[in-house]
């Protein structure tokens, strides 16, 4: 466990908690967290995760902007539903991105665990997009992805990060419950 991993983990819990509470401060805190984790994963040679966190940095800015659009009388953007078509297209795109990214990472880098890293990255991107758009289904996807990340990081002895994703799983369950009730 490094100080970088510890700080990034603490910021991650804070950002996800604020997201569950629909507090827009989740986005700048999340931005700092993903930048720190990008550095951490680069040192660990988990290059798909580095790319993921680079995209997450852009998504943090996008989410912050999105949450300021179409706000209701409470000052918040309302929670919405990803329709069947949006869900199928999103999930299909995540599979394709996972396949392409896995192939690139497997053939052209010395990445550790290129295939699971690539698929978890692709589905994390979809979950993050749905979160930025305030689709309640983001939490369903986060639950699955976070549970898989717990195992992924535990297998590599990144116990603090595995524990963080365990906390993220619990927060995603809370987020699912709160966002579904609020819509």
Percent pLDDT > 70 in the chain is 100
Asked whether 130 and 82 are in contact (CB, 8 A), the reply is: yes
**CA 142, CA 173: separation in Å to the nearest integer?**
9
Could you tell me which residue, 14 or 9, shows the higher pLDDT? 14
Tokens linked to 125: 């991107």
**CA 113, CA 125: separation in Å to the nearest integer?**
18
Q: Is the pLDDT of residue 1 over 80?
A: no
- Note the pTM of the prediction, 2 decimals: 0.89
Asked whether 7 and 45 are in contact (CB, 8 A), the reply is: no
Asked whether 119 and 102 are in contact (CB, 8 A), the reply is: yes
**φ and ψ at 135, to 5 degrees?**
-90, 125
Q: Is the pLDDT of residue 139 over 90?
A: yes
């Amino acid at each position: 466990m490094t100080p970088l991993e510890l700080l990034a983990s603490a910021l991650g819990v804070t950002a996800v908690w604020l997201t569950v509470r629909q507090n827009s401060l989740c986005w700048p805190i999340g931005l700092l967290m993903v930048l720190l984790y990008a550095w951490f994963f680069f040192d660990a040679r988990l290059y798909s995760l580095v790319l993921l966190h680079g995209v997450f940095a852009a998504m943090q800015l996008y989410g912050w902007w999105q949450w300021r659009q179409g706000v209701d009388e409470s000052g918040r953007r309302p929670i919405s539903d990803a329709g069947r078509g949006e869900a199928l297209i999103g999930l299909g795109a995540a599979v394709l991105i996972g396949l392409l990214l896995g192939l690139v990472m497997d053939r052209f880098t010395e990445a550790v665990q290129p295939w699971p890293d690539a698929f978890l990255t692709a589905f994390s991107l979809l979950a993050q997009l749905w979160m930025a758009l305030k689709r309640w289904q983001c939490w369903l996807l986060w639950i699955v992805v976070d549970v898989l990340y717990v195992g992924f990081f535990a297998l590599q002895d990144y116990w603090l990060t595995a524990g963080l994703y365990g906390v993220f799983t619990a927060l995603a369950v809370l987020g699912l419950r709160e966002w579904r009730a609020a819509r």
